[in-house]
Structure 1
């Protein structure tokens, strides 16, 4: 299903277009080939086709839970581009502002089965010179970029090419009337040709209103150790979410309910959930989607983090890049658990479907 485009909406009193969708996501997506059995890429005889892309993952996950989303990107005028548009639109995302490039291909990649953290994990990208890598600010509709309550970006886009880095600099510049700007650092050292890329990501993050960053990538990219050090290096965003792996996540809030800058940034920490890990691919995107969903609903920071953990748990217990998130009522029940019940919660494969069938919110949710 493709939602009708009305980029820009009805102008507000100050002339700024009113949002017509909840979230706009911009970035490259690729056709993903997942092996039909474990083993080296050289030994796997066949692959199943799927889609993958940090920003479209967020858009699809949000759309599956009832939010209106728009994905902006470029794909080739080829069969893989057709497949991406059909798959993303099938999740309920508006793809009417995805440009078709007749001269450049749609990116694809292959990966081995299992967790990315494994020593034998392989990923083979075929994205150099892709349609999305040629994106520039001049190619994109400014009204479409401002058509959401939130504009969600990722550091992956900045690493694709010089033109994409220029686009990201343009979008993260602080200007009146822009939507709330969400930025997931998503540091991928293999994509950056120069060491200066890490510094570029720090500068881009400083231009955002809401930043997601893992403590491991902050350490690798910027040499920062610990959530407090990351917070000190990023004083500009109103909300900073530091993901601390299996330990949990911390939110640093620098803007009060009245919009005034807080003195010392208040913090909220929520421990991660216990899950039966299937694959870590897509978990960071799912966490961002869950947090953004709760943000759109105006929920407290503690609840926002819990929704992030719950949606990440859906991805962690699923083999592909794009897992089905928990239904809103189910996630709300679990997010409202007391601390002791939250720490006892244990989620396994299929828990989102099992929970929708009537599990009590305070019981262990495991599926063989």
Structure 2
């Protein structure tokens, strides 16, 4: 009898949305109601997926924990994930939930509109966490000890469980909202002072319920409200990394913007990789900003 291959050991877990990105791009400025020529692409996406793809390009071996349907789109997506260097052994494959999708419209003036259909991920709930609870990757008695990139497409109840569950006590949690509209879901990580939060200025304002004029100001406010560690970005203006031991603020390189969807995920992944290489706070932030700037200019971030 032929034995099943042993699953590869991941360097990092990426928990959250793994779906198809359907992106329409035009090199013309757009507004509500615009009807312009452009290009429409379909690529593997989702916050967790975008982070994982960048991690793989930097040489890490990420494993995805998410919900993917057993429909034709899901089978195609899993195959694409494997080709991109992701470990897919731990995905929850649902018989009755369709594969999730994200649709965005981008013009020369940035993101015009987007819709995230992550209903299957939300419906799957804690089923996607089984490998971290049943001993496959970890358990409550023997918690997983490596880095975890986590996105805010999960339900608030599930994010609260991750922020408090003993099975995550030893993990290096890196958490990002899926969008400003879901920023509130990160609040449990502030309440319980667990993990590193990656947010933009708008998301920081939502979490703190006040407006900020800079990434440094927002970072200070997040720490004051309980966050253990934060990285706050403010587009092309600045980015700040801060914890109780100090902070660092830098300006990103100036580039011509060719795309925006996935830039924050690229920044987060590049920062995780930089710290895994042993870079200090200032150097790691600079490395992440360079990678994000390269990405939005239209070039691969590595």
TM range (shorter): 0.7 to 0.9
After superposition, residues 40-189 of structure 1 pair within 5 angstroms as 47-114=40-107, 117-118=110-111, 121-128=112-119, 130=120, 132-138=121-127, 140-142=130-132, 143=135, 144=137, 147=144, 149-157=146-154, 164-173=155-164, 175=166, 177-189=169-181
After superposition, residues 252-331 of structure 1 pair within 5 angstroms as 252-254=242-244, 265-318=245-298, 324-326=300-302
Q: Which runs of 5+ in 1 are unaligned?
A: 7-19, 158-163, 255-264, 327-368
Please say which of residues 147-156 and 59-68 is displaced more in the overlay: 147-156
Deviations 1:134-159 (A, max 9, x none): 223255222436556201112232xx
2:22–2:43 CA contact under 8 A, matched in 1: yes
For 1:28, which of 17, 35, 57 is the aligned residue? Answer: 17
Aligned residues: 280
Shift of 1:36: 7.1
1:21–1:149 CA contact under 8 A, matched in 2: no
Within 2, Cα distance between the matches of 1:165 and 1:268?
30
- Does structure 1 residue 246 correspond to structure 2 residue 236? yes
Shift of 1:41: 8.4
Please say which of residues 173-182 and 49-58 is displaced more in the overlay: 173-182
- Does structure 1 residue 202 correspond to structure 2 residue 187? yes
User: Partner of 1:341 in structure 2?
Assistant: none
Within 2, Cα distance between the matches of 1:41 and 1:125?
21
With over 3 angstroms needed to count, the CA separation of the structure-2 counterparts of 1:241 and 1:88, relative to structure 1, is: same
Aligned-residue Cα RMSD (Å) equals 2.8
- Does structure 1 residue 234 correspond to structure 2 residue 223? yes
Deviations 1:8-52 (A, max 9, x none): xxxxxxxxxxxx432101011221223375676877798432122
Q: Per residue, is there more strand in 1 or in 2?
A: 2
With over 3 angstroms needed to count, the CA separation of the structure-2 counterparts of 1:88 and 1:284, relative to structure 1, is: same
1:206–1:234 CA contact under 8 A, matched in 2: no
Deviations 1:214-254 (A, max 9, x none): 12221244333243354343354443212122122111132
Q: Which runs of 5+ in 2 are unaligned?
A: none
Deviations 1:240-272 (A, max 9, x none): 212122122111132xxxxxxxxxx41111211
2:189–2:195 CA contact under 8 A, matched in 1: no
Please say which of residues 225-234 and 78-87 is displaced more in the overlay: 225-234
In the superposition, the TM-score normalised over structure 2's length comes to 0.81
Shift of 1:115: 5.7
